[in-house]
Amino acid sequence: MPRAITALADPLTAPVVVPVAELSPDLRPVSEPVCGVHPIEVPLVVLSGERRETLFARTLPGHDEASRFRAMGPLRALGTLASTRTGFLLEHAPVFRGPVADLCRAASARYAQGNAAGFRAWFAGRAANPEGDLARPVGQPSASAAEQLMVPLIYLNHMWRQGDPNTDAATGPSRMPEPLGSLLASAADAVGMIPRFNQIVMTMLAFELDGVRGGTELSHQDVAAVDRMRPAFWLNEGDRSELELYRAFYAVEAFGVPLYGWGCHALECAAADDRAGGAQALRMVQAVIRNVYMITKRLIPRIDADEFRRIQVTCGWVGDEVTGVASGYQLPFMLMLDALFHVNYTHPGVIAARANNLRFVPGDWKAFFRMIYDAQPALRTWVHESGDGPLAEAYRSCTGTFTLFRTMHRHLGGQVLKGGTTTGRVFDSAAANYEQFMSEMAALTDDTAATSDVSHPAAPDSPPAAASRGVRS
């Protein structure tokens, strides 16, 4: 039997800690809608361990995080990276104060006017003679303060480089006027972050919640209040499509919080051959995927393609190491599901995109999800060998809902991409962009659907696909 664990029951309404064995098998939707959807209330596995205060951290040379995580086991390892109530999201509401944050807010309004020459002239003047003392040495800020400083710096760097949100996506190197250029470089080095856009910055660091003061410890009710979430900084100030885009990605992590604990518990049940416990855990996982599916299905159609194009944060990575990539491939929710269910990528474009995207993901996160993928027995293999009907049903309910999610993403995401937006790469035309996206997502959907077949055990990744996850041969 796996070790006894507890869970936070009713975390959205009346949280109370109970043994997992005492949880009700019936999961019910909450009465108050979120983004027009009544999500199912999924208990949270209570995690132990000391989590660091930042999302990013410098990778220590010669430090083998994957081996350390394997020795700890899934749940204990998870407790070093995530928290019970907020998952991989921050435990405290971000705080954005000071001259850099103020400059970023002012810059977004200028940037949205669409005058590159005028914007850059204004920007250079403000950088050299800011109203706040931007050139003053910042000393040695805490790790969390340095990480949060990176957010407005990354937004400022993007706006300086792009100049005008209405023009084609900028590519090639760029450096902000001093002292901002040096400040960005030094902060990035201290934090251990590539100083460019990525989905972790956009979704998991650059948010605010109406009614929640910066620095406040967040409850699960707080992070799940997607209707109250807004970007801390804008690229197309006040635009509804930008808001809905951020909310759609944020909702994935906010309602994905229960996935991590239940997914890890399912793996520990597999190791102990606890079939009843594994089926319970997988039913919880299916409810989480369903919540994310229902909410993102509601939010994505609200994004106007032409307005979305003005955001332009995911462009030009081919042959251009200084351009950021903001993609769902970087979100812990997607990394966890792919690893947990052994989704083995087959499309060369998907494999290449993941390899590039993972450059922007913290090193210990990648090590953790590699440990999840490598855990023995794999869930699919365990289900195959057990011959247990309820366990197989719970497993297939997860993979079926996950496949449905990716089918929806392909269809609705494709509709947005028809407006000529970017997917992290440079294309000759909007049509080529759209066709590539649809081809890759069709293959990825098929790869996901293949995990439902429990007549065979899980198969290992191909060498190229394994390499794209950071596995070294």
Q: Looking up tokens 């998952």, which residue turns up? A: 87
Dist CA 131 CA 95 (whole Å): 20
Give pLDDT, residue 427: 66
Q: Are 198 and 330 in contact (CB under 8 A)?
A: yes
Provide the 8-state DSSP code for 253.
H
pTM: 0.94
Give pLDDT, residue 237: 76
Dihedral over alpha carbons 423, 426, 430, 433 (to 10 degrees): -50
Nearest to 82 by CA among 315, 398, 364: 364
The SS3 call for residue 84 is coil
Dist CA 20 CA 6 (whole Å): 5
Give pLDDT, residue 422: 56
Question: What phi-psi label fits residue 35: left (phi over 0), alpha (psi between -120 and 50 degrees) or beta?
Answer: left
Q: Are 232 and 90 in contact (CB under 8 A)?
A: no
Dist CA 259 CA 43 (whole Å): 10
My answer on whether omega of the bond before 15 falls inside 30° of 0, hence cis, is no
Dist CA 456 CA 378 (whole Å): 12
Half-sphere exposure of 334 (CA within 13 A, CB side): 24
Q: Are 455 and 384 in contact (CB under 8 A)?
A: yes
Half-sphere exposure of 160 (CA within 13 A, CB side): 25
DSSP string for residues in 27-43: --B-SS-BTTB--B---
Q: What is the largest CA-CA distance in the chain?
A: 71
Give pLDDT, residue 136: 56
Dist CA 187 CA 182 (whole Å): 8
Nearest to 294 by CA among 16, 39, 32, 33: 39
Residue 56 in tokens: 């990013």
Dist CA 50 CA 323 (whole Å): 34
Spans in the chain with pLDDT lower than 70: 1-3, 130-140, 312-326, 419-427, 471-473
Q: Looking up tokens 């100083």, which residue turns up? A: 195
Q: Are 79 and 49 in contact (CB under 8 A)?
A: yes
Dist CA 206 CA 203 (whole Å): 6
